Amino acid sequence: MQTESAKPNQRLFESVRARVLDRLRSGEWSPGDRIPTEAQLASEFDVGIGTIRRAVEDLVAQGVLIRRARRGTTVAKHTDDHSFDLYFSFVDEAGEPLKLSAQMLGFKKERASPDVSRALRLPQGARVARIDNLRLLDQTPLMVDRIWIPLDRFADLSASTFAARRSSIYRFYQEHYGISVVRVVENLGACVADEALAEPLGIAVGDPLLHIQRTAFTYNDTPIEFRDRYVNSVGCKYQNVRGLQD
């Protein structure tokens, strides 16, 4: 067995982490599956348990794996709670996470604009689905999402299948297309409402809005969704939590 001192710890950790991710990318370990124990992985990968533990803990911290007492470590499934905990950054005035409902405003298939092509790394003019989604808190509209996804990855997507989903969007991607969102990048700015935004949000043209552009990635750093989110921040706040929570 190769000892920990045979290679620098950082290289061992990165190698083990990459090998775990390879299993996830290939589908050998699917969402909800329990992965082998640390001892089993240490034996299989020919490294010490400390290196395995560091790699697994890093992926747990990133939401790719989930560790539960007496149940071991499993591949994350995009349950509604998991998706909101990881990827939803809005809270109410008391700092509590918002639980919103959704209403589809529009669905169409179109050619990707230069901005969408660049975000999704598609050839210019590639076919995408655009979904306009309204998010409500107790029937009060708070947000409009304009979402673009590549039709080469979601070939049979239709307005009826999207509207009929019984879960979060990311869970829908995972359960129906086998595509797991593992990372998002958000850029926060501001804008004013035009007519297309003011009407569904119940505000006046020219009212201020938060504008968040988000790109969602699956494994291999592959972008699979781009969205513009417009938020009426009256009654909610954007919250970004980073670092250790003990």
Q: In the predicted model, is pLDDT for residue 186 greater than 50?
A: yes
216 — pLDDT class (breaks 50, 70, 90):
very high
Q: Which residue has the higher pLDDT, 68 or 122?
A: 122
Residue 117 and residue 11 share a domain: no
How far is residue 143's CA from residue 230's CA, in Å, rounded to a whole number? 5
Q: Are residues 71 and 84 in the same domain?
A: no
Nearest to 237 by CA among 135, 146, 142, 134: 142
Domain-located, residue 153: yes
Same domain, 127 and 26: no
Task: Supply the pLDDT for residue 143.
Answer: 96
Domain count, the chain: 2
Tell me which of 39 and 203 has the higher pLDDT: 203
CATH number at residue 231: 3.40.1410.10
Q: Are residues 87 and 166 in the same domain?
A: yes
Type of residue numbered 225: E
* Domain's final residue, options 75, 104, 122: 75
Q: Are 120 and 148 in contact (CB under 8 A)?
A: yes
The mean of the pLDDT values for the chain is 87
User: Which DSSP symbol is given to 124?
Assistant: T
Distance CA 48, CA 143 (A): 48
> Nearest 5°: phi and psi at 188?
-100, 130
More confident residue, 230 or 219: 230
Asked if residue 245 is part of any domain, the answer here is no
CATH of the domain at 29: 1.10.10.10
CB 105 within 8 Å of CB 133: yes
Nearest to residue 50, comparing CAs of 65, 35, 38, 67? Answer: 38
Distance CA 39, CA 238 (A): 41
Note the pLDDT of residue 220: 86
* Separation CA 77–CA 84 (nearest Å): 12
Largest CA distance in the chain: 69
Residue 176, pLDDT > 60, answer yes
Q: The whole model's pTM is what?
A: 0.80
Residues 219 and 121 in one domain: yes
pLDDT for position 5? 38
Q: Is the pLDDT of residue 84 over 60?
A: no
154 shares a domain with 59? no
Instruction: Domain of residue 87: give its range.
Output: 80-238
Residue 236 above 50 pLDDT?
Answer: yes
Last residue of a domain, one of 22, 52, 75: 75
* 171 and 86 part of one domain: yes
159 and 196 belong to one structural domain: yes
Residues 204 and 157 in one domain: yes
Q: Is the pLDDT of residue 226 over 60?
A: yes
Q: Are residues 71 and 9 in the same domain?
A: yes
Q: Tens digits of per-residue pLDDT, 132-147?
A: 999 999 999 999 999 9
Is the per-residue pLDDT at 33 higher than 90? no
